[in-house]
Structure 1
Amino acid sequence: MNWKVITTEAVYKKALARAMEIFHAEEGTPEDDELGVLLLLLKDYEDKHILMPQIEVLEVIKDKMQEQGIKNKDLEGIIGSKSHVSSILSGRRDITLKMAQKLRDFFNLPAELFLRAN
């Protein structure tokens, strides 16, 4: 099939189904070429039409803390004083770049999470 820019959900679903069908195509085959084109077209459609929910960085940090049994005082070495930690976790203060880097490393979180924080 000759694929074109995807503009409707029906064509998107058809393209997605076809991509799944040929997902394991051998490299260098016509199906592999078709898959490459389909993946680009699908990404373009998704970028334009599918909104991803915004992730609240503070909620992620709090969830990670609960998951790992970490208390506020455990973050003092990363964020600063007890009052600093409290201000950050309550949203009264913004996370600085330095804090974001330390939190990213401490919780093993993707850096992109902190780029959307403010």
Structure 2
Amino acid sequence: MDELVDDYDRYLPLIEVLSVAIEKWESESPEFAEFNKAVSELDDGVSLLRVLMDQYQLKADDLKNEIGGRSLVSMILNGSRSLTIDHIKALSRRFGISPALFL
């Protein structure tokens, strides 16, 4: 695998064939059915928020200015509450990303 990455241009056709085959296997294999179902049911905004929190090593308390208290952030992360337009605007400003990414 390292060889494929190290000489990317040379192996690009092989990488493209492998990526299509792997994507097909992941989407059609019974082994991934439960995982794929769970992923399809995730809220995109909450998923993005989780990634941002992980990347920036943030805790719920760190988002009090954008969302509110720790309990509200926790409720949003566990799906019992939704991000509001105001939350999305504030998070977009904080992280310098488009609000559309949360929708």
TM-score range, shorter chain: 0.5 to 0.7
- Structure 2 unmatched ranges of 5 or more: 1-39
1:101 aligns with 2:89: yes
1:62 aligns with 2:50: yes
Q: Which residue of 1 aligns with 2:100?
A: 112
Secondary structure at the counterpart of residue 77 of structure 1:
coil
Q: Identity over aligned residues, as a percent? A: 29
- Supply the distance in 1 between the matched residues of 2:43 and 2:76 (Cα, whole angstroms): 16
Q: Which amino acid is 2:63 matched to? A: L
**1:13-65 deviations in Å (ceiling 9; x for gaps):** xxxxxxxxxxxxxxxxxxxxxxxxxxxxxxxxxxxxxxxx9981211111111
Query: How many residue pairs were aligned?
Result: 63
Asked if 1 retains the 8 angstrom alpha-carbon contact of 2:67 and 2:73, the reply is yes
Q: Which amino acid is 1:67 matched to? A: Q
> Relative to total residues, which structure has the larger helix share, 1 or 2?
2
State TM-score, norm by structure 1: 0.47
- Structure 1 unmatched ranges of 5 or more: 1-52
Asked if 1 retains the 8 angstrom alpha-carbon contact of 2:60 and 2:69, the reply is no
- Provide the aligned C-alpha RMSD in A: 2.1
- Supply the distance in 2 between the matched residues of 1:55 and 1:89 (Cα, whole angstroms): 10
Q: Which residue of 2 aligns with 1:79?
A: 67
Specify the structure having the higher radius of gyration (Cα): 1
State TM-score, norm by structure 2: 0.53
